[in-house]
């Protein structure tokens, strides 16, 4: 029995060792497809397309990105992508990193000729690779047939299409694409390639396809083309998080969010989510210019954003451009109630809360400081006591020392004054006694003053 247990233990240790060896080999293998870049990269890069991670050795987020970046390098190499993957220590080559506009760590850039594109999406392998494919290819991709059009539609959730020939609108479309290619895909097609279900009132036109439908750009109602593309590059209904809300701040839209607990299957939680989805789908023609819809799991981020405690499930409407928000003023039982609530927001009946006033900014500073202290004590009480208890203890000791020093000084000074006064009184008594006692050799009989004429005679 002992032999069998030892044998099992030996096999287990060998298996663990083999797994560790394979893991280390896999990491080293993937790392081999990411090139370490130095100052020579500035002169050698323009002949190729590069996807570069500018990092700092001490940065925690950079260390977290490293294994993902190694997988990106391996994947790009295995699929035969023309994009080369590299990384540069921005602290060792700070002047070169500054030339590329690196301001923080990690910074991911795709370098294509004289152009540099910043990546601002989630730091996952699939999202980074999608970004590299989109930006490294043609700025505007042609759609030569309806089959290709349907293929693109199945592959991409949101994409933009210019339909028509050469025109001033196409020039604006190209300018917008050069700026926003980091976010979405841009295509062009002739009118005969467009599916039959697409109805166009005039040509040329710019369309966005998303949510199993399409919307046509109207210069009179939608304003600037780039601003319209920036607003419409999101699906109408999304699963919200902090990063996505930050991105939605550039759209200028109000964001209606059902704040729920996805693990809670009660009717209240599922009903609010279904109501928001129904409004987003059935009323998209009414609200897609002004509203974005979605749901968020949990209220932690919303509470931090609003500096308040929201009871879930609930609905909150955020204006991410100026930090204002709207809370429910009624019970939401169906889509009709939600539509009425949205209409009241648009006509100003529902009062906006929050904002970016000076008072709100001061409140934000206090709230962030309080949240930081509480989070430190919750995560590590000993560290919290060390960080905040030690300085308070030192300050208390200093204050006590100053107070006691003042008290002792006053006592000493007062005692010195008292002693000095006593000595002065004793000295005066001694002097008075000396004046009263006759000097040695002098007569005790008082001296009698002689008359003035006698004194004159003596002088003669």
Enzyme catalytic residues: 59, 62
Nearest to 154 by CA among 235, 222, 212: 212
Residues whose CB is less than 8 angstroms from the CB of residue 324 and which lie 6 or more positions away in sequence, other chains included: 318, 352, 353, 354, 355
Nearest to 354 by CA among 316, 387, 382, 388: 316
Nearest to 254 by CA among 342, 180, 364: 342
**Other beta carbons within 10 Å of 402:** 10
Residues whose CB is less than 8 angstroms from the CB of residue 256 and which lie 6 or more positions away in sequence, other chains included: 276, 279, 291, 292, 293, 294, 315, 316, 317, 338, 342
The answer to whether residues 325 and 306 touch, using CB atoms and an 8 Å cutoff, is yes
The long-range contacts involving 330-339, CB below 8 angstroms and separated by at least 24 positions, are 332/272, 332/275, 333/271, 334/275, 335/275, 335/278, 335/279, 335/282, 335/283, 337/275, 338/256, 338/275, 338/276, 338/279, 339/279, 339/283
Residues 175, 180, 181, 182: what is their CA dihedral angle, to the nearest 10 degrees?
150
| H/E element, 454 | helix 452-459
The answer to whether residues 209 and 198 touch, using CB atoms and an 8 Å cutoff, is no
Nearest to 209 by CA among 230, 179, 233: 233
C-alpha to C-alpha distance for 39 and 96, rounded to whole angstroms:
7
- Look at the alpha carbons of 263, 268, 269, 275 in this order and tell me if their dihedral is positive or negative: positive
**Could you say which DSSP state residue 192 is in?**
G
C-alpha to C-alpha distance for 178 and 115, rounded to whole angstroms:
10
**Omega of the bond leading into 409 within 30 degrees of 0 (cis):** no
- Look at the alpha carbons of 129, 130, 135, 139 in this order and tell me if their dihedral is positive or negative: positive
Residues whose CB is less than 8 angstroms from the CB of residue 65 and which lie 6 or more positions away in sequence, other chains included: 53, 55, 106, 123
Residue 323's region, left for phi above 0, alpha for psi from -120 to 50, else beta, is left
**Could you say which DSSP state residue 191 is in?**
G
The answer to whether residues 226 and 176 touch, using CB atoms and an 8 Å cutoff, is yes
């Amino acid at each position: 029995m002992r032999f069998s247990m030892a044998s099992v233990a030996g096999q287990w240790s060998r298996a663990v060792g083999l797994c560790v060896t394979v893991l280390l080999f896999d990491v080293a293998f993937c790392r081999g497809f990411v090139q370490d870049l130095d100052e020579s990269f500035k002169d050698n890069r323009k002949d190729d397309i590069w996807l570069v991670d500018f990092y700092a050795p001490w940065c925690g987020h950079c260390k977290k990105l490293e294994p993902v970046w190694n997988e990106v390098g391996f994947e790009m190499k295995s699929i035969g992508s023309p994009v080369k993957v590299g990384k540069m220590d921005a602290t060792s080559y700070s002047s070169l990193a500054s030339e590329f506009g690196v301001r923080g760590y990690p910074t991911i850039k795709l370098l294509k000729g004289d152009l540099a594109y910043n990546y601002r999406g989630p730091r996952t392998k699939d999202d980074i690779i999608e970004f590299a494919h989109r930006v490294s290819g043609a700025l505007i991709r042609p759609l030569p047939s309806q089959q290709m059009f349907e293929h693109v539609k199945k592959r991409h959730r949101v994409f933009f299409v210019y339909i028509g020939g050469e025109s001033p609108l196409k020039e604006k479309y190209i300018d917008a694409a050069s700026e926003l290619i980091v976010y979405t895909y841009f295509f062009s097609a002739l009118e005969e390639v467009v599916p039959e279900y697409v109805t166009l009132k005039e040509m040329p036109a710019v369309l966005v396809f998303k949510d199993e439908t399409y919307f046509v750009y109207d210069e009179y109602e939608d304003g600037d083309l780039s601003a319209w593309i920036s607003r419409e590059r999101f699906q109408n209904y999304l699963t919200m998080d902090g990063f996505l809300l930050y991105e939605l701040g550039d759209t200028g839209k109000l964001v209606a969010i059902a704040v729920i607990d996805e693990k809670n299957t009660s009717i209240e939680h599922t009903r609010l989510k279904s109501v928001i989805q129904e409004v987003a789908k059935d009323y998209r023609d009414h609200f897609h210019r002004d509203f974005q819809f979605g749901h968020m799991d949990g209220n932690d981020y919303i509470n931090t954003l609003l500096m308040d405690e929201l009871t879930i499930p609930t609905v909150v409407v955020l204006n991410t451009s100026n930090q204002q928000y709207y809370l429910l003023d009624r019970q939401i039982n169906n889509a009709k109630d939600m539509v009425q609530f949205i209409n009241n927001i648009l006509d100003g009946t529902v009062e906006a809360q929050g904002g970016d006033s000076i008072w709100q900014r001061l409140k934000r500073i206090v709230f962030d400081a309080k949240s930081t202290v509480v989070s430190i004590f919750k995560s590590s009480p000993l560290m919290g006591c060390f960080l905040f208890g030690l300085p308070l203890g030192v300050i208390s000791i200093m204050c006590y020392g100053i107070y006691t020093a003042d008290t002792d000084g006053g006592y000493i000074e007062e005692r010195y004054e008292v002693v000095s006064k006593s000595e002065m009184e004793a000295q005066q008594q001694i002097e008075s006694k000396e004046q009263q006692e006759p000097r040695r050799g002098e007569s005790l009989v008082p001296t009698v003053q002689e008359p003035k004429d006698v004194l004159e005679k003596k002088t003669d």
